[in-house]
A and B are shown apart, each in its own frame.
Chain A
Amino acid sequence: AQKVTQAQTEISVVEKEDVTLDCVYETRDTTYYLFWYKQPPSGELVFLIRRNSFDEQNEISGRYSWNFQKSTSSFNFTITASQVVDSAVYFCALSEFGIQGAQKLVFGQGTRLTINP
């Protein structure tokens, strides 16, 4: 069965520090997708990035970067020069596909990130 583990339940850092959120996954599929979502206090899950299993290139988007390593089944997320607005719960997710294109997301337990001014 698919499984996603986010071992860090809570992280607290001071503004401008760099912070890395860890994500480890388990799957038997050879083709799969990994996602990161951000959940601010309002509750909505905001999509951040999608990575497919064949693309191990690291990605950078502004202060955000992602490191995908298939060999260690990890998809880590780094925020550089953190800001108070980055405070949220971050979820890593793995796609599971069924018949006829049906898909569902398997989520990790989330990491609550607090950025202190």
Chain B
Amino acid sequence: EVQLVASGGGLVQPGKSLRLSCAASGFTFSSYAMNWVRQAPGKGLEWVSYISSSSSTIYYADSVKGRFTISRDNAKRSLYLQMNSLRDEDTAVYYCARDRQSSGYNDYWGQGTLVTVSS
């Protein structure tokens, strides 16, 4: 069974940093690209970042470019999102998701981890 378990969320002050993790199991993690998608409270879905299976290709949404860094450790079957210079508008549930064919759409999603940016 495919499982994605996101962790690392919490309350953080504006300007501070936070690192999210996503632990994968039930599939060959190293063969799949991955995405982070977020959802602000009561709002819609916003794609945040993409990383290819080998980490050779990485994309970011303009809203996080230069502040967030996506990475992965295939040996540990883990995906990460380093979030720096956090802003109030980064408050959201952050989902990690498996990319079906390294194309941008997601066939499995984690349960999400809530990041709250507030002073």
Q: Are A and B genuine complex partners?
A: no
